[in-house]
Chain A
């Protein structure tokens, strides 16, 4: 009886002494985008580079055969300016995309990294090769689903 009680007491103490951190395993917040041309999913075969503004950090560097995007949004700005640059053998074309959003702190615990979730309010762009952009899901959080559908101009344009 005493041994049983001792065993139970020590196992309770051991379990109570353990501390676990239940942080979200996949904690990347990204704005997911996909390309299409006239409703058909396409990939950009030439080199695509995306920067935050003209002199900001590079968000996507010389990607080839790009069919989808995963872009980090700024933590605190109300509007992000993204410059899409496509470089071919003998040409370089650019479009600018403006994403207006709200930012909300997402705090889990002192031991887990804090991040920000966003709610996309509006998206507009120039039209060199982008025809229009549709917001499919405005919430930008841990979910891995498409936020923006980027419709490209048809090849004849």
Chain B
């Protein structure tokens, strides 16, 4: 880990520790409540990826997710998305492009013991992507022998695996619609690439590096919440 990466990681740890401290301070005021075993089923979409694509960013990870809540504390989650990157080097004329799927599996843990609709998560994810990418240069030239011609390597195959650790917050907006935010630190576990060239971007991970930051802003549809509430009401009436 070089110096800027160490700084980033330190900031990340500080953020986690401060968040945990503020939670602990709130604990005495909270009442212990018991949430139902199945406390919600939700689907969500990350707005950041779609916004990045809309503004023409260098790359974007557009994803949707589905999760189940247990006791309003444990939330196993699956995230599926498409990583999109089209990039041309300003001085070199080199191009890189990929549009490939990725998936993540993991768990969110809700630190908030009060079941008031607000959640503060610690999260862990395992990410995987098997993807194809194109690299090229339309005016690639041999500086000594003087030959110029297009360089085109299409359909290069690679696979990447990584881990993510992060924190997130989530709140109820209206009825079953919620808004969530998360920040994640990613560690690349493995990357298999052909000899010709490494990918500039790993779908779901971001710019190809040993580690990096990521974030999401999620619109969440808590579709299971109303069903569970109805069931509870029926049981209460009986």
Any chain B CB within 8 A of the CB of A25? no
Tally of contact residues, B, Cβ under 8 A: 39
User: C-beta contact mask, B112-150 vs A, less than 8 Å → 1, else 0?
Assistant: 000000000000000000000001010010111111010
Closest B residue to A109 by CB, please name it.
B200
Chain A residues with CB under 8 Å of B213's CB are 12, 15-16
User: Using an 8 Å CB-CB cutoff, how does the interface string of B195-209 with A read, 1 for contact, 0 for none?
Assistant: 111101000000011
* A102-130 interface code vs B (CB 8 A; 1 in, 0 out): 00111111111110000000000000000
Taking CB atoms, residues of chain A closer than 8 Å to B96 are 109-110
Q: Does A1 contact B (CB under 8 A)?
A: yes
B residues less than 8 Å from A12 (CB atoms): 8, 11-12, 15, 183, 213
In the complex, chain B residues whose CB is within 8 Å of the CB of A105: 151, 153, 196-197
State whether the Cβ of B28 lies closer than 8 Å to any Cβ in chain A: no
Residue A40, interface by CB 8 Å: no
- Tell me, rounded to whole Å, the shortest Cβ–Cβ distance linking A118 to chain B: 12
Give A contacts to B, CB under 8 Å: 1, 4-5, 8, 11-12, 15-16, 18, 20, 22, 52, 56-57, 59, 72, 74-77, 104-114
A8-B15 in contact (CB<8A): yes
Q: 7 tightest CB-CB pairs across the interface, nearest first?
A: A107-B197, A110-B89, A75-B142, A74-B145, A72-B144, A110-B94, A111-B89
Contact indicator A8/B18 (Cβ below 8 Å): yes
- In this assembly, does B92 line the interface, its C-beta being within 8 Å of a C-beta of chain A? yes
Bound together, the chains give a CA A106 to CA B92 distance in angstroms of: 14
Task: Output the nearest chain B residue to A56 by Cβ-Cβ distance.
Answer: B145
Q: How far is the CA of A112 from the CA of B14 in the complex (A)?
A: 34
B144: chain A residues at CB < 8 Å are 52, 57, 59, 72, 74
Distance between Cα atoms of A17 and B195 in the complex (Å)? 31
Q: Which of A4, A20, A105 has the most CB of B within 10 A?
A: A105
Residues of B within 8 A of A11 (CB): 7, 11
On B, residues with C-beta under 8 Å from A are 4, 7-8, 11-12, 14-15, 18, 22, 87-92, 94-96, 135, 137, 140, 142-147, 149, 151, 153, 183, 195-198, 200, 208-209, 213
Partner of A107, one of B8, B11, B12, B135: B135
Contact, CB under 8 Å: A75 / B92? no
Q: Complex: how many Å from CA A4 to CA B15? A: 9
Residue numbers in A under 8 Å from B7 (CB-CB): 11, 15
Taking a contact as CB atoms closer than 8 A, the residue among A4, A20, A104, A111 that contacts B92 in the complex is: A111
Using A104-B196, A106-B196, A110-B95 as known contacts, list a sample of 10 further A-B pairs with CB atoms less than 8 Å apart, ordered by residue number in A.
Answer: A12-B11, A12-B12, A20-B4, A57-B146, A105-B153, A107-B135, A107-B196, A109-B89, A110-B89, A112-B94
Q: Is the CB of A112 within 8 A of B92?
A: yes
Residues of B within 8 Å of A74, CB to CB, are: 142, 144-145, 147
Closest B residue, CB atoms, query A12: B11
A117 smallest CB distance to B (angstroms)? 8
B215 to A, closest residue via Cβ = A16
Closest A residue by C-beta to B156: A107
Q: Is A109 a contact partner of B145 (Cβ separation < 8 A)?
A: no
Chain A: minimal CB distance from B134 (Å): 11
